[in-house]
Amino acid sequence: MITPLFLDTNDGRHFSPDARQIIEEVCSAAELEVRRHLKALPEEIELACQTGTLVIPETGEMGLAISSSRVGWTVDANREGGVAATARAQLRFTLFHELHHLARGWVIYRDEPRTTFMEGVVSEGLAVVFERDVGGRNTPWGEYPEDVDSWVAELLELPVSAPYLPWMIQHADGRRWIGYRAGTYIAERAIRASGMSAAALVNVPTDDILKMADIYSHQ
């Protein structure tokens, strides 16, 4: 069961009764779909909802895999239609993405430390493909350029301590979502080579995904 938690106020100032109902309905329907493909999700999951402006400009919201049983969701209440419209349009897809992270263990608070920067790249790529192939959303962060191999080469050289935001969200040279887009490319290569889906690869280690994709890490 996905239980929404509303982190602003109880007076409906940000999350109106209508918005709360829509969020609850989207969670219930999405969970049924996702669990058909990701069997290892915890029985109880929390969706911590808050309003704010730190969101993806293209969607007006942003998800975050916080722990093994909690997803964070930030929504810009000032967008046209308010929280309810954004929840209706975007939340289902974001849940597909973030729940793949939960099933894989790619969350902020976990016991095992990261060992390579590519762990995030591969995990994001698999989640993007799952969101697309099962959830049905094509995203700009899932589209990669013809010279994506050069992006992969750059990422392979990064230490595990490399800053996340420039390489995954917005680089100083103007490129956006380098890690997400290169990760999507890697995931697609691994899927073609193995015949397995993004859901079936959810627990396959990063190094094995890279080998399936005929990409080898030097870290």
Give the model's pLDDT for residue 11.
63
Looking at 39, 70, 104, which one is the last position of a domain? 104
Residue 206 belongs to domain spanning: 118-212
Residues 143, 147: Cα–Cα separation, whole Å:
12
Mean pLDDT (the chain, rounded): 95
- Rounded to two decimals, what is the model's pTM? 0.94
Q: Are residues 130 and 156 in the same domain?
A: yes
Strand 45-51 relative to strand 61-67: parallel, antiparallel, unpaired?
Answer: unpaired
Strand order from edge to edge, sheet including 70-75: 2-6, 45-51, 70-75, 61-67
Quick one: 163 and 93 in the same domain? no
Residue 217 is predicted with a pLDDT of 58
The residues pairing with 60 across neighbouring beta strands, listed in sequence order, are none
Reference 61, options 44, 47, 41, 46; nearest CA is 47
H-run or E-run covering 67: strand 61-67
Q: What is the pLDDT of residues 64-101, one digit of tens each?
A: 999 999 999 999 999 999 999 999 999 999 999 999 99
CA distance 213 to 105: 21
For 211, residues 6+ apart whose C-beta sits below 8 A from its C-beta are none
Say if residue 204 is in the same domain as residue 130.
yes
**In percent, how much of the chain has pLDDT > 90?**
91
Distance, in Å, from the CA atom of 42 to the CA atom of 162, rounded to the nearest integer, reads: 31
- Confirm whether 51 is domain-assigned: yes
Q: Domain tally for the chain? A: 2
Pair 94, 133 in one domain: no
Mean pLDDT, 10 residues at a time, over the chain (219 residues)? 86 83 97 96 96 95 97 95 96 98 96 91 98 96 97 96 96 97 98 98 97 78
Residue 189 placed within a domain: yes
Claim to verify: residue 138 and residue 63 sit in the same structural domain: no
12 CB-near residues (< 8 Å, 6+ apart): none
